[in-house]
Amino acid sequence: MIIQEMTNWLTGSILFALGCLVLVAGVILINNLLHKFWKPVTVVLMRNDSVYPKIRFATADDSKEPEFESPKDIDKTKD
């Protein structure tokens, strides 16, 4: 009877751990699906802007491709 109780306990603990993993994966999946609708949560009630600067979100200008200058020709004949 002891062996059967130990196998039941081992099976139950493995199934419990797998259930916890499924719950965590579900929470992460839901969070990733809804992340664009979240607003930032501030934990500090008395906010000091010198210590905690204002949050800056990306704008449409930030996502554009950078504009580089055209490459300059290098004169290799001069030493």
Question: Can you give the residue ranges of every domain in the chain?
Answer: 1-53
CB-CB neighbours of 57 under 10 Å: 6
Position 25 pLDDT exceeds 90: yes
CB within 8 Å of 44: residues ≥ 6 apart:
52
Q: pTM (2 decimals)?
A: 0.45
Position 23 pLDDT exceeds 80: yes
Position 14 pLDDT exceeds 80: yes
Residue from 65, 66, 45, 41 nearest 55 by CA:
41
